[in-house]
Amino acid sequence: MAKISNEQVIAQLNAKFGDQITTPTAPFGLLSFEVAVDHITEVLTYLKSDETLNFNFLTDITAVHYPEQEKRELAVVYHLHSLTNNVRVRIKVFIPVDNPKIPSATPLWNGANWMERETFDFFGIQFTGHPDLRRILNVDDMTVFPMRKEYALEDPNRVDKKDFFFGR
């Protein structure tokens, strides 16, 4: 059972950061909100170090590509868990695809190292201050970022995918 509620978390964040915390929602009970890139380090530090909130576990860092959102094409997504309060939060930071830079979370959580490398590898997001930002799963000389929605999912010229082969 949670010791603090989503409402208490967002109230405490609003008291501390005011309008820097935007669009709070709770889909499926998971508190989600947005933070500007300029404030992400301050918010993450507060969430981790505040004795009441105590979001001490970084579950994941990933990204999502929204090509239709001008100047907000890339969303860096953080999932944090307060093990003592049994509460989770999702934080989204939108950044432009032409300048995909965000501060690294490795000074707060050592586990952010590989998560940021993977996010860089697949989305091209530069985590400034990262101790060793390089590809982790793809080949080093790869020039594209495969999780961006910039390429067709399949080759339209493949003949083995034609309907008549499947009785359609």
Here the tokens at position 58 are 């970084």
Beta bridge partners of 34: 22, 92
pLDDT band at 37 (very low <50, low <70, confident <90, very high): very high
Kindly report, residue by residue over 129-156, the tens digit of the pLDDT: 999 999 999 999 999 999 999 877 777 6
123 lies in some domain: yes
Kindly report, residue by residue over 79-126, the tens digit of the pLDDT: 999 999 999 999 999 999 999 999 999 999 999 999 999 999 999 999
40 lies in some domain: yes
109 lies in some domain: yes
Where residue 50 sits, what CATH number does that domain have? 3.30.460.80
For position 161, what pLDDT does the model report? 66
pTM value is 0.89
1 lies in some domain: no
Domain extent, residue 21, equals 6-166
If one counts every other C-beta atom within 10 angstroms of the C-beta of residue 137, the result is: 11
Number of domains in the chain: 1
97 lies in some domain: yes
